[in-house]
Amino acid sequence: MTKAEMLELLASMQSICADEAADVLGIARPTASMALLRLTRHGLATRWREGADPRIRYAISPRGLDRLAYLSGRT
């Protein structure tokens, strides 16, 4: 899984949790969780909790959309 693949997934979804990302990408949950955390720390994604759901939700940020456009243009 590449950074671009995770950003593409985030761009295609309104929001996603690590479990859902792992299922879609066919990777382990800890791998998805760390990838999402790295994107968040770099300002490429945002995260929050919704209501009583203990899972953290993620969405692509405007900076993440810019990075995805850059990465897509390089291929």
Q: What is the CATH number of the domain that holds 32?
A: 1.10.10.10
1 confidence band (pLDDT: 50, 70, 90): confident
Residue 74: the pLDDT is 78
Instruction: Quote the number of domains for the chain.
Output: 1
Contact 38, 75 (CB under 8 A): no
pTM summary value: 0.91
User: 66 to each of 11, 52, 60, how far by Cα in Å?
Assistant: 11, 32, 10
Q: What is the domain extent for residue 26?
A: 3-74
How far is it, in rounded angstroms, from Cα 70 to Cα 66?
Answer: 6
State yes or no: pLDDT of 6 exceeds 80: yes
How far is it, in rounded angstroms, from Cα 54 to Cα 75?
Answer: 37
